Structure 1
Amino acid sequence: MQQNQDLDPKASAPAQEQGAQHAAGAAAAAAAGSASTSGAGVGVGAGGKPIDSLPLKVTLKIFGRMLKSYWCSKDSLKSWFLLLAIIALTGGSVYIATSINTWYKTFWDVIQQYDLDGFKQQIVVFIILASIHVLVSVYNAYLKSCLAINWRTWLTGKTMDRWLQSDNYYKLQLLDKNTDNPDQRIAEDLNLFVSATIVLILGTATDIAMLFTFGVVLWNLSSAVTITVWGYQVSLPDGYMCYLALLYAILGTALTFYLGRPLVRLNFRQQRYEADFRFSLIRVRENGESIALYKGDKEEGKYLRHSFADLVANYIKLIVCTKRLGFLTLGYAQTAVIFPILISAPLYFAKIITMGSIMQINSAFGRVQDSLSTLVSNFNSWASWKSVVDRLSLFYMSLEEVERIACLKTPQDRSALEVEKLELKSPRGQLLLEDLNLSLKQGQSLLIRGPSGCGKSTLIKAIAGIWPYADGEVHYIHDSQALFLSQKPYLPQGTLRLAASYPSAPETEGQTEHYFKLLGLEHLIPHLDEVDIWSHILSLGEQQRVAVVRALINKPQILFLDEASSAMDELTEKKAYELLRQELPDTIIISVGHRSTLLQQHELVLTYLSKNGDYKLQSTAEAQQALV
């Protein structure tokens, strides 16, 4: 708050420490929701509406768990040494600050006495103190940065592992529509949480140390005295300047809390709007071809402008609130510059204290007032920090909720793939399939058919063990590996060779080139080791053929194909299935498709008869006869 003229260990810290406070204010969290875990889902308040923050008790509870998870683990040993070093350097900063405060009195008394030799001597003392202060401050900030990256690395790794394990990333997307942008929470919010926590907590600890140290100094400088003010005798008690500093800080804190409360809610919303707008832009980029073919640029523009308008509207409220708070905090700071001089001036003019004493009082009062006013000076940062913790809290609460929702387990304990009494439902509870019993031996194949939206893809997701709305039992073959090929194949970042063997390591023995030739992809062989965005370069039919190569290289015991040949012509589709059967004779193949030509590539056919759970399981010959 008060801009003291002496060296402030907080004010002169390198930019990365100040940047962390600014980042916490500029990019706070914006999670939608409350702690509710009712049927509405995590992040939804009364009436299904997202609220803007969690109760402080919930925030502090989850914050405590986040602290404990790292600082009580064996991985935090190095960080404990860093923390102890930071505490030692902070103690050094406080000692240097008190030395500079004492130097103030001596320096100004020398000037008042016109003592040139004393002046030169004090300049040398200042250079020594300033040099030590710079060294301590730089290393203090450096060690804080080292501590932050250690903590962030551990926290990011643990959070990513938890997000990725047990298909939580998929279940979170499927079950919890209110957890926006989990990627941003891991990449950005964890960084903000760590940096802001270190800066604010260690900064508060420094303020407490400064308060006790300079409180003693200020108390000793404000002994009981009686002075005459405008003809009136005024008796001042011991420590009166400490009392005035406390009263001044309480007044400023109360006004700041009253004017700044909306900042928590507005910061909370702002990042959500920022993330939603950014996601909308990414969505246009990723679907550029389809939008161009539909000539949908005007509609996309309307949606983007609407999304940006929400962002701007909230930002205007945010800056208006910040403006009001700015009048208070800046006015508070400017008043604090002159306030200690005003209360010590009568003592000076009464010739009770010297000019050096006034400057020492000014410095000590500023330190005490700064420490007592930490909430005033850091209110924006604390408000933003709470938003970050709330946003992460909602994310972790959502993870806990989806972790409690179990998909069908697929134990590998049978000699065949067996499905027993399987019941399948949609996320809204609609019955899709009832009492399915199925047994597929090695080398057998099954085609799943039916009208659109009846639950064909959902069935193979349940058998694959990733659909949470299913009951029954699924048993895999001993030591079996399953592979899932979707209609729109996933092509990871990297080379085309990597995409063709994913999730295994790139194949280097010539199988990739061999299968590319058999599937009509020989024109891509020269580009196998090039890194590119292959999902944007290859046509959907080419991507599906690359996915077939992936199955041939990985050689799974169970292969799911969810309309994985829909973009191929019938001749290429036939060649692909024949190649799969030739190269993978013992693999169980389960396909979803609409084409009648797929019948001849499978032994069994499961046909959905309605959207009420009825089905028919028959041989291919029976299914073909029914078509005739």
Structure 2
Amino acid sequence: MTAPKTPVSDDVISAAGLDMSFMDQLRMAGQSFWASRVRGRIILLSLSLLGVLLLLTYGQILLNRWNQPFYNALENRDLSAFWHELRNFFYIAAFLLVINVAQTYLSQMTALYMREGLARDMVDQWLKGRRAYRLSVSSPLGVNPDQRLHEDARKLAESTTSLSVGLVQSTILLISFVSVLWALSGHFVLPIFGHQVSIPGYMVWGALIYAGGAAVASNLVGARLTRLNAIRYAREAEMRAALMRSNEHLEQIALARGEDVERTAIHSTIDNVLGIIRKLAMALTNLTWVSAAFGWLALIVPVLIASPAFFSGTMSFGGLMMAASAFTQVYTALRWYVDNFGAIADWKATLLRVMVLRAALTEPDLVDPVGAQIQVEVGKPGVLTFEDLYIRTPKEAEANWGGYHLKEDNPSILAGERILINGDPGINRRQLFNAMAGLWPYGEGTIRLPEEDHILFVPQTPYMPEGRLRDLLAYPEAAEIYDDEAIVAALKAVKLGRLTSALNDRQRWDRALSKEEQMSLAFAHILLRKPHWVVFNDVLEGLEPDTTDILTGIMADLKDATLIYLGRNAAYLEALSPRVLHLERLDVPVPGAD
């Protein structure tokens, strides 16, 4: 098993062994957009926004043209012209007000649908084909993906909309006002050291030089921002995961008197977050020296550049103000990148985190092992077979040796059998359980499941989703397919008749019920589903004797089901007299290993 070795800035991404270029990230983002169910709405809103931005630019051109007659009226003390231009100003301002409101609404709606499309696509990719579990055992990216699925996806959608609108608007302004500024300064002659020098469009060149200097300075000062933001988001995700983990295990922590240990651990994650935020604060402070300096100078630079024409008498006061206004528009458009350098760095860091997760989900070769893997296939009806099966950890799979296998030579299990699979001390039987379910690929060999037979896998800790009790009993099927009579009969069979009046109650059942009651609910689910094959992962371990007797009695009554129990349980042996298979540890390289 190999993985890319070049690390990227995000600590978690580096640990995952993933490295994506910026173009790869954009390609992945494009795939996400095209897969979105709301891409049509986004395209329509984007086209509407483009139209609004064009109208906005037209209004700003009208406002720029308004400068010359208005300030000339002031210079000439022409009261009639002054009131006429003032009335024109209110017409232009009203037009721009309507356009600004439309722009805000369309921008917000675009961001909303972009977030919807991205969030739904990411969740669909995460919960498809058991990818979430495979990622959780193969990569650090799967440990706490909630930050990327929720907060980072929100930030990416909103910042993409905001930055895209700003970039398009600045581009339109630049194209529109460069021609205006060029015309205003196209034939001006500057007296330089006693010579008359003609510089066509010299104010355009002045704006380019000024904005270029600001861009270069910002790049030099703010180059670290993208990397620092990526690290910050990773560490904030770790802090939230630590808080969630502690909240989910409050009882165990309290019983162990572990509050001091947890507090120290959480304070450590807070220190990590604060440490990177301090570095970000210093980087942003340094960037402010550049952005603020060029911003304040922009108040006077347009007038300074246009003043030679005014003082030479070739430009009126109104023309000076019109040229200064046009210069400001051109410079504002050119310095959009400077003003948004921090936002762009933040956007790139967020794009990296979200798209790396999507790449890991949609391109499993990035995180899944290469080479030999356990294959799970459909075999003959009524037969489950193991062929040359070896179970390993990821490191053992990479080395292609070690792990464990079934001591019996390629055993088969026939429909209706009762099977117990135990093993040498220290063997993790859950890996075989997950391999049979198609979740654990590490190792080699083939597991052939019976064709067209309903197989139910019952883990040692059943999943208790929040919601109505009837929904929990039917999960993942719809509760409506089971009538109340069947549900009540199943609950009574596992001695949970007291819960029959709570079928429509909503609560955290994993906290409301004991371990025995939770496992009893899992068996009530089996009675409702009536599977042909049931694979148990040590479900009777640690239960009270009375509960064990009830559940083994239910197992014995499942006459039409094939039962496979992974574990060492005397009660199961006594109640069902199963055929025993044995997992054997391999301390030497397996046959055929390199």
**Which residue identity does 2:551 align to in structure 1?**
A
Partner of 1:463: 436
Q: Give the Cα–Cα distance (whole angstroms) in 2 for the partners of residues 504 and 46 of structure 1.
A: 39
> Structure 2 vs 1, CA of residues 42 and 527 (structure 1 numbering), >3 Å: closer, same or farther?
farther
1:541 aligns with 2:516: yes
> Structure 2 vs 1, CA of residues 41 and 475 (structure 1 numbering), >3 Å: closer, same or farther?
farther
Question: Equivalent residues in 2 for 1:518-529 (5 A)?
Answer: 518-529=493-504
Q: Give the Cα–Cα distance (whole angstroms) in 1 for the partners of residues 5 and 130 of structure 2.
A: 18
> Structure 2 vs 1, CA of residues 72 and 540 (structure 1 numbering), >3 Å: closer, same or farther?
closer
Question: Equivalent residues in 2 for 1:471-550 (5 A)?
Answer: 471-506=444-479, 507-550=482-525
Equivalent of 2:392 in 425, 441, 447: 425
**Which residue identity does 2:493 align to in structure 1?**
L
Q: Give the Cα–Cα distance (whole angstroms) in 2 for the partners of residues 118 and 180 of structure 1.
A: 70
Partner of 1:31: none
Question: Equivalent residues in 2 for 1:588-599 (5 A)?
Answer: 588-599=562-573
1:444 aligns with 2:417: yes
Partner of 1:25: none
Partner of 2:530: 555
Deviation track 1:396-426 (CA, whole Å, cap 9, x = no partner) reads: 3322135865653231532222223322212
> Structure 2 vs 1, CA of residues 476 and 608 (structure 1 numbering), >3 Å: closer, same or farther?
closer
Question: Equivalent residues in 2 for 1:163-182 (5 A)?
Answer: 163-178=126-141, 181-182=144-145
> Structure 2 vs 1, CA of residues 114 and 449 (structure 1 numbering), >3 Å: closer, same or farther?
same
2:6/2:17 contact within 8 Å kept: no
What is the deviation of 1:196?
A: 2.2
Deviation track 1:62-89 (CA, whole Å, cap 9, x = no partner) reads: 3034225535989633433322222111
Partner of 2:163: 200
Q: Give the Cα–Cα distance (whole angstroms) in 2 for the partners of residues 80 and 166 of structure 1.
A: 30
Partner of 1:160: 123
What is the deviation of 1:254?
A: 0.6
What is the deviation of 1:488?
A: 1.5
Equivalent of 1:85 in 23, 30, 48: 48
**Which residue identity does 2:394 align to in structure 1?**
P
Partner of 1:133: 96
Q: Give the Cα–Cα distance (whole angstroms) in 2 for the partners of residues 285 and 47 of structure 1.
A: 25
1:566 aligns with 2:533: no
Q: Give the Cα–Cα distance (whole angstroms) in 2 for the partners of residues 325 and 553 of structure 1.
A: 64
What is the deviation of 1:333?
A: 0.3
Q: Give the Cα–Cα distance (whole angstroms) in 2 for the partners of residues 585 and 509 of structure 1.
A: 24
What is the deviation of 1:195?
A: 2.6
Q: Give the Cα–Cα distance (whole angstroms) in 2 for the partners of residues 290 and 278 of structure 1.
A: 19
> Structure 2 vs 1, CA of residues 426 and 483 (structure 1 numbering), >3 Å: closer, same or farther?
same
What is the deviation of 1:47?
A: 13
Question: Equivalent residues in 2 for 1:181-192 (5 A)?
Answer: 181-192=144-155
Question: Equivalent residues in 2 for 1:64-143 (5 A)?
Answer: 64-67=27-30, 70-71=33-34, 76-143=39-106
Q: Give the Cα–Cα distance (whole angstroms) in 2 for the partners of residues 108 and 250 of structure 1.
A: 31
- Tell me how large the CA RMSD over aligned residues is: 2.9
Partner of 1:454: 427
What is the deviation of 1:330?
A: 0.7
1:415 aligns with 2:415: no
Partner of 2:575: 601
What is the deviation of 1:140?
A: 2.3
> Structure 2 vs 1, CA of residues 387 and 44 (structure 1 numbering), >3 Å: closer, same or farther?
closer
**Which residue identity does 1:262 align to in structure 2?**
R
What is the deviation of 1:304?
A: 0.6
3-state SS, counterpart of residue 351 of structure 1: coil
1:410/1:475 contact within 8 Å kept: yes
1:394 aligns with 2:361: no
- Normalising by structure 1, report the TM-score: 0.85
2:68/2:319 contact within 8 Å kept: yes
3-state SS, counterpart of residue 580 of structure 1: helix
1:540/1:567 contact within 8 Å kept: no
> Structure 2 vs 1, CA of residues 515 and 72 (structure 1 numbering), >3 Å: closer, same or farther?
closer
Q: Give the Cα–Cα distance (whole angstroms) in 1 for the partners of residues 327 and 203 of structure 2.
A: 7
Q: Give the Cα–Cα distance (whole angstroms) in 1 for the partners of residues 11 and 459 of structure 2.
A: 37
1:86/1:144 contact within 8 Å kept: yes
What is the deviation of 1:352?
A: 3.0
Equivalent of 1:330 in 269, 292, 314: 292
Q: Give the Cα–Cα distance (whole angstroms) in 2 for the partners of residues 172 and 52 of structure 1.
A: 10
What is the deviation of 1:226?
A: 4.4
- Normalising by structure 2, report the TM-score: 0.89
1:40/1:48 contact within 8 Å kept: no
What is the deviation of 1:382?
A: 1.2
3-state SS, counterpart of residue 307 of structure 1: helix
User: Percent identity between the aligned chains?
Assistant: 25
Q: Give the Cα–Cα distance (whole angstroms) in 1 for the partners of residues 550 and 16 of structure 2.
A: 56
**Which residue identity does 1:359 align to in structure 2?**
M
Partner of 2:399: none
Unaligned runs of 5+ in 2: 397-401, 590-594
**Which residue identity does 1:214 align to in structure 2?**
F
Moved more, 592-601 or 252-261: 592-601
Q: Give the Cα–Cα distance (whole angstroms) in 1 for the partners of residues 5 and 509 of structure 2.
A: 37
**Which residue identity does 1:598 align to in structure 2?**
Y
Partner of 1:617: none
Partner of 1:257: 219
**Which residue identity does 1:375 align to in structure 2?**
Y
Moved more, 202-211 or 400-409: 400-409
Q: Give the Cα–Cα distance (whole angstroms) in 2 for the partners of residues 52 and 413 of structure 1.
A: 39
3-state SS, counterpart of residue 449 of structure 1: strand
Deviation track 1:546-566 (CA, whole Å, cap 9, x = no partner) reads: 111111111122212212122
Q: Give the Cα–Cα distance (whole angstroms) in 2 for the partners of residues 86 and 283 of structure 1.
A: 43
3-state SS, counterpart of residue 272 of structure 2: helix
1:204/1:374 contact within 8 Å kept: yes
> Structure 2 vs 1, CA of residues 322 and 343 (structure 1 numbering), >3 Å: closer, same or farther?
same
3-state SS, counterpart of residue 375 of structure 2: coil
Deviation track 1:20-65 (CA, whole Å, cap 9, x = no partner) reads: xxxxxxxxxxxxxxxxx9447796799999389998x821233034
3-state SS, counterpart of residue 484 of structure 2: coil
1:50 aligns with 2:14: yes
Q: Give the Cα–Cα distance (whole angstroms) in 1 for the partners of residues 47 and 473 of structure 2.
A: 51
Deviation track 1:252-304 (CA, whole Å, cap 9, x = no partner) reads: 11110000001111101001111100110000000111111100000111111
Deviation track 1:422-457 (CA, whole Å, cap 9, x = no partner) reads: 222122213211575222222222122235531322
What is the deviation of 1:192?
A: 2.5
Q: Give the Cα–Cα distance (whole angstroms) in 1 for the partners of residues 11 and 107 of structure 2.
A: 44
2:386/2:447 contact within 8 Å kept: yes
> Structure 2 vs 1, CA of residues 142 and 527 (structure 1 numbering), >3 Å: closer, same or farther?
same
Deviation track 1:509-529 (CA, whole Å, cap 9, x = no partner) reads: 322222222322233333221
Partner of 2:230: 268
1:552/1:580 contact within 8 Å kept: no
1:557/1:586 contact within 8 Å kept: yes
Unaligned runs of 5+ in 1: 1-36, 615-628
Q: Give the Cα–Cα distance (whole angstroms) in 1 for the partners of residues 502 and 36 of structure 2.
A: 47
Partner of 1:215: 178
What is the deviation of 1:94?
A: 0.9
Q: Give the Cα–Cα distance (whole angstroms) in 1 for the partners of residues 570 and 18 of structure 2.
A: 55
Partner of 2:203: 241
> Structure 2 vs 1, CA of residues 185 and 191 (structure 1 numbering), >3 Å: closer, same or farther?
same
